[in-house]
Amino acid sequence: MLAGVGELGQVNRMTRLPASYEGAVVAAPVTVPYVRFSPQTAHWWAGRALAGVAQATGLGPGDIDGFCFASFSAAPDTAVGMVQHLGLSPRWLDHIPTGGASGVMALRRAARAVQAGEAEVVACVAADTNRIDSFRRTLEGFSRFAQDAMYPYGAGGPNATFALMTDAYMRAYGVSRADFAKLCVAQRENALSNPHALMKSPLTHEMYMAARAISDPVHLYDCVMPCAGAEAFIVTTPERAEALGLKAAQMRGAIERHNGFAADPVQLRGGWVRDVDTLWQMAGMAPSDMHMLQAYDDYPVIVAMQIEDLGFCEKGAVSRFIGKNEFGMQGSLPLNTNGGQLSAGQAGAAGGFQNVTEALRQILRMPLGAQVPGATRALVSGFGMVNYDRGVCSGAAVLEAL
Amino acid sequence: VRGPVKKDPLRPIDLGHVPPAPRSRAAMAMAVRAGQGRFMLQACVRCEAVTYPPRDCCPACWGALAWRDQPQGGRVVAQTDVRVSADIYFRGQMPWRIWCSGWTAQGRRR
């Protein structure tokens, strides 16, 4: 499984620091409660998300002049079809097909549009339905490489791909299932106060360790549950947010990278590694300044990888880091405070937005459940699109309450 | 008179499900060569980079690709037993052992 671009693509040339995101703020986090299966369409879920935005802001279709959309199940429609379906008339439009990285990418694009004056109110929406067999259909037609070189080999889906990555990662860095258990158990504990989380019962270390193998070394509680749901937020000017009476947050820094380490034979690091210095320099902050980490968590191996690659600990030291830290609401590093996708459910592309909306709710003091005490800053991280053997897209954003 | 044999409703039965069929033209070309007993991968005619999965363009220099025989050896870098499949065709065949490997390809490794 060796493929990709040449070494040149992996050398970071000296680039100037991106401009700040001053003049664009994020507000009105909306989560439409998830369900395991839904007879509705992605369009219906997107509509519920916009209704939630309307309820939070008082804005209607005519007030939204920018629209950014992410979904896996809206076919044959893209953002264009969605615009007419939902009665929008934006002067700025973006379709983001990047799943787990879509929330951070929506933030970055919408903020630049608002800063440049190309839109004043951008509604960012991710919506997906989940019907019987729709998840398999998504896998079957996910990408050309998956269709050619992954799906025909047992059709294990992401469980199989991440099993390969987890297998290599555990051996490379001495990470154990017990380490992953601590992350998963903490996230479940966090989920128990979130009324929308699909997982309602506590998860113990013993339950995690005794779970059946799905694709070794991935076991049952390492896997997210596909579901239907939608997430949304708006990006606007600080003046407009204030006029609307909205609590808002500022993006202090943000990065994204695609196909970051193409020559690595198996993914042991994500694209964050190439850009993490830019992120913290831009924010003028360090990992220790963060009050929480809303990491992308389709599998715990990716959470562990983000802890390293975003600078919370050295590469290879994550097992010790997990041992020394607590990840609950009162812990030293509150992690995925709504339970994350592992305990709240993975609503398709909305899974790449729920880390953004949860971070906003926590730092704006409007939590669904428990509140991280004194939180004003959050790191949100996205990861997405197993085009073939690894997540191609990565991104991260530092959010601070105004 | 005996009635029909009762069937365990949970046991997967072979209903003649067909394997997943959609494949790119380049992947079909590789499969045809594999069917002839040859392990061939695409190499760039310009920079000699070897690539997999099958592509339509060299990812290192955007040159044209041609099929080249490759050494049979490789090194397993990760493996798993897939125990749960999304596709009904594979349900009765679990577990499937899959792995990813590095190999010493002719020319430059990509």
Interface test with A, best of B24, B44, B80, B109 (most A CBs within 10 A): B80
The chain-wide mean pLDDT, for chain B, equals 88
Provide the token pair at A106: 């929506």
> Bridge-partner residues for A391, per DSSP?
A386
- Say if CB A160 and CB B98 are below 8 A apart: yes
A213 touches B at CB < 8 Å: yes
CA distances from B64 to A72, A262, A372 (A): 32, 19, 55
- Contact across the interface for B80 and A165, Cβ inside 8 Å: no
B94 touches A at CB < 8 Å: yes
- When CB atoms are compared, the residue of B53, B61, B109 closest to A149 is B53
- Contact across the interface for B96 and A154, Cβ inside 8 Å: yes
b vs e for A381-399, b when ≥16 Cβ sit within 10 Å of the residue's Cβ?
Answer: bbbbbbbbbbbbbbbbbbb
DSSP conformational letter for A339: -
Residues 164-183 of A with CB under 8 A from B: 164-165, 167-168
- Contact across the interface for A3 and B51, Cβ inside 8 Å: yes
Provide the token pair at A194: 């979130």
User: Which pLDDT belongs to residue B105?
Assistant: 52
pLDDT tens digits along B54-103: 999 999 999 999 999 998 888 899 999 999 999 989 988 899 999 998 87
> Rounded to a whole number, what is the distance in Å from the CA of A102 to chain B's nearest CA?
25
- When CB atoms are compared, the residue of B51, B87, B100 closest to A389 is B100
- Contact across the interface for B110 and A151, Cβ inside 8 Å: no
Strand order in the sheet with A213-215: A218-219, A213-215, B75-82, B96-102
CA distances from A161 to A65, A107, A265 (A): 39, 28, 13
User: Which pLDDT belongs to residue A65?
Assistant: 98
State how beta strands A66-70 and A92-95 pair. Answer: parallel
DSSP conformational letter for A390: S
User: Which pLDDT belongs to residue A133?
Assistant: 87
Q: In this predicted complex, what is the ipTM?
A: 0.90
Residue of A300, A5, A354 lying closest to A175 (CA atoms): A300
pTM: 0.93
User: Which pLDDT belongs to residue B13?
Assistant: 67
User: Which pLDDT belongs to residue B12?
Assistant: 65
User: Which pLDDT belongs to residue A12?
Assistant: 55
Residue ranges of chain A whose pLDDT lies below 70: 1-14
Q: Mark out the alpha helices in A152-255 (DSSP H runs).
A: 157-173, 177-191, 205-210, 238-243
- When CB atoms are compared, the residue of A6, A147, A155 closest to B87 is A155
Sign of CA dihedral B19, B24, B30, B32: positive
Which residues of chain A does B57 touch, with a Cβ-Cβ cutoff of 8 Å? none
pLDDT bracket for residue B6 (50, 70, 90): confident
> Rounded to a whole number, what is the distance in Å from the CA of B56 to chain A's nearest CA?
11
